[in-house]
Structure 1
Amino acid sequence: MTTHSDTDRRVALVTGGSRGIGRQIAQRLAADGFAVVVGYAGDKDAATDAVRTIEAAGGRAIAARADVADETEVSALFDLAETTYGGVDTVVHSAGRMLLSPVVDLDLAELDALYRTNIRGTFVVDQQAARRLRPGGALVNLSSSVVALAFPGYGAYAASKGATEALTLVLARELRGRDVTVNAVAPGPTATDLFLDGKDEETVARLAAQPPLERLGTPEDIANVVSFLVSPAGHWINGQVLRANGGII
């Protein structure tokens, strides 16, 4: 494990940190020297395993459950980070849900559930981050390159991530004078279990061939971007959406 002295004793809170991209981000930040709070919604075993992996590599982490759209539970999540580690320096909001359907067929009850997590959840987490991040801190929201790619079937999901990007840009400007950066990272097709589930080899190969780099992204690719943004080296980047997709758009 590599520990950098400029991030010693700094604290990161990662929502959606039990699996996929969020888990890789949590592990990378722990390797960078952060104490990490691994936020999860329901899979306690996966979150516990993420913590064990971090600890086995010499890092510090705890797991905590919270519904990101519930302001009381999210406030308690930040309270836990502060009481356990002394404060919060970085928040990475990776929690979200995906629903694919043509607009014409979408059940509006499912739309409401998606937006509760992806829009209200982002607002609730960002609100607490804005109140609690220490000077020099960073907030990173996870968006998606599908906002620009406009794939059929992604209307509801892309709209929710468009809202995430809009909130990111506004909040970066509202935090003027706080020495806190606010950015979004928008992955393209990334080889996670969630992404690969239900896709045949032909579909995966077609998506992998789209970027000029001719491969799918990996969770490590996205974690590397986040690691840079929340480091002192990335602190001059603020109010931006970084499309981490190998050049697909």
Structure 2
Amino acid sequence: MSVERIIAKVAKLFAIAADDAASQAEIENAIQHAQRLMDAHQLTEQDIQQVETSADTSQRMDQFHAVVGQRIHQWEEALAFFVDDFVGCPSYVDPALREATTAGGFPRLDASGRQRFGKSFVWYGIAEDAAAAARLFEELHMVIQVSALAKFRGYWKGDGAKYALGFAHGLREQIEKTQQRIESVTPGSSDSRALMVQRKTDLAMRWLENEKKVVLRKDRSRNRPLQGSATAYKTGRDDGRRTDASRHRAAKLGSR
């Protein structure tokens, strides 16, 4: 097998290891196999980065909106940050009001039957990743809304909003614990994933600035502390920890 094919195989194994939709056993096996190949053929991290960057640049770039409301709430920002990290795709907030539609392109209506308009989160970069991130956000957004309505009769203020924020934080805690377990078995796996995600983010940023002429701020909006009970927050966090985000994911990170 040529060196080029071995490098490509190692890069593919690292892509599997970076995929949050993969099982822990799949991630551990991929990393161990990749490390054995690198040791056997004296390959460096730089060798693998060059192949991954080349593969990334061959992907179609695009951006996808997930419209929320005319005001973006704290729990929605927390959910967007979770999706950024989970899929490995960056996003920004678009303050311009636009029509809210379903994944099938049909208009979303408000309680009075009128077309909904709102601000949106925009995922950008490799088209497959950006589309997956926007879909995942919309699905989890709906899950949180339905759960908050059932338990607290709302999700924009009071205990309902506090529950929704706890839910988003619980999702993030679940992923962090999974990564910690993987890191304890295969040291360096978190660094490998972080490097790949950073390369994709840098590529996406250049595309956004050069092709879309969008230059992003370094920070997002600051939210005031939420009113609501600690019990509502804890209930949401527990529900978020129990929710399998991988089940809602429509595409895998790193798939080609």
Query: Rg: which structure is higher?
Result: 2
Greater share of helix: 2
Greater relative contact order structure (CA < 8 Å, 6+ sep): 2
Asked if Structure 1 and Structure 2 have the same fold, meaning a TM-score greater than 0.5 normalized by the shorter chain, the answer is no
